[in-house]
Every structure is written in C-alpha cells, then in structure tokens.
Structure 1
Amino acid sequence: MTNEFVSQVFEAVDSGDAATFVGFFSEQGRMVFANGEPMIGPAQIEAGVQAFFGTINALRHTVVREWVQGADTIVELTVEYDRLDGRTVTIPAVTIWHVDADHRIDDYRVYFDVAPIYR
C-alpha cells in the first residue's frame, strides 16, 4: 500500500500539474532531475518541471516499493512515458526525498536514464 503523501506527489506529476507538485516543496527546496543541474526554490523547480513536461505527451508512475523512515522517503518506480513521436517507453527510476519540520520537501532527487525518452 502506497503512503498517502507518496501518492499525492506522483498524482501531481502524472497529471502534468507542475504548480501542485511544486506546492509540496519548501521555499529552499532543491530538486535534481537525472543528471541535470540542481533547481533551487519553487520557481526554478516549477519552470524545470514544466519544461520537461513540454518534451513528452504524458507520463505515469507505478510504485514498485517505497521506504519511509522518519523524514526520508525512497521510492522505486517504473515510469511509462508517452513520447512526442507517439511511442511509449517504460523506464525504471528511484526517487529520494527529505522533508523538513513542516513536512515540505527540501531535497528531491530523481535517478533514471532519460535517453530512452528521446531516442
């Protein structure tokens, strides 16, 4: 059974709602997506996520396993991407985040190989 907060985070992403997704972050929140440069703060994170959404038609996360230990969460996923060329690819991924005392994400990292989305 998936933790409610985990479900909310990935539902926001899967709906393409960058504004709702960034609402989970603290003002000092940091996000690193694959091998990209860190995005710091809600404005940068929202712009980066919105830019990524513009490179795909849709995506769907399926939680394989999750581990929540105190303020830290690790989620193993498969992510199905609908590419702009009409093809669909499924990629394994791991997302790790930490929440602050206000239960806002202050560090969010996504580990996966983006190459299949674009080749």
Structure 2
Amino acid sequence: MSKIDLVKKAFELVEANNVDDYIKGFTEDAIYKISNLDPVIGPAAIKEFAAPIMDNFTSVTHDIKNMWEQGDIVFAEMIVVYNRKDGKSFDIPALDIIEFEGDKVKKLQSFIDVSPIFA
C-alpha cells in the first residue's frame, strides 16, 4: 500500500468517526500538530485530543485537491468540510504534511485555520 493510500484510509477513518482505528496508524511517539495548537504526542494523547472535538460535528469530510508522495512524506492539499450539529457547515482549506516511519505516521502537521468552526 502506498503512503498516499495510507493517508486516504486515515481520512476515511476520520470521516467514519472511528478514532480507535485512526490512532492505530500512528507510531508510539508520533507528533500530531494541528493549526497553532500545541503538539500532541502519541496515539493515546491523539485520541484524547480528537475524540471530544469530533463530538461537535455530524460529519467531517476531506475534499482532496492534490496529494504528493516524496519518500516517506505525503503532502495533502484539501478542503476539510466540517458539518456542525447546529446545522452550520464550514469549508476550510488545509495542507497536511504527513511523515511516515514504515507504514505508520511519525508526524502529522496540519496547516488549517479551525477558528471559524468554533466561533
């Protein structure tokens, strides 16, 4: 499976709100950095960070515009669509840089401005 395929599978798990399987794709010392928030380290901390956030939405989808694989790094340009439980929807542009160690994510950094979805 290519690194791009692994990223697409991870996005599908987010879209299915399957945090338990999502975190299995990370190394034990993975760095998870979203926006200007402090980095989160390791699968357990990623789950603790992500699970309550996902509870705010009826769905989150990734409209992938471009993906590039360079060695152990995947670059994903996309629009992330957040559908809040109050019926509001937000299309937020993002660029993720995902570094792999083998078939697991070693570092994920997402350049995204999530402030509108929590306003």
Same fold per TM (> 0.5)?
A: yes
Q: Secondary structure at the match of 1:11?
A: helix
RMSD: 1.4
CA apart distance, 1:20: 1.1
Moved over 4 A (4+): none
2:49 matched to which residue of 1?
Answer: 48
- CA contact 1:56–1:81 (8 Å) conserved in 2: yes
Aligned residue-pair number: 117
Superposition map of 1:1-119 within 5 A? 3-100=4-101, 102-119=102-119
Q: What is the TM-score when the length of structure 1 is the normalising length?
A: 0.92
Q: Secondary structure at the match of 1:80?
A: strand
CA distance in structure 1 between the aligned counterparts of 2:15 and 2:111, rounded to whole angstroms: 17
The one-letter amino acid paired with 1:50 is A
Q: What is the TM-score when the length of structure 2 is the normalising length?
A: 0.92
State the percentage of identical aligned residues: 27
List alignment gaps of at least 5 residues for structure 2.
Answer: none
List alignment gaps of at least 5 residues for structure 1.
Answer: none
Q: Secondary structure at the match of 2:95?
A: strand
The one-letter amino acid paired with 2:20 is A
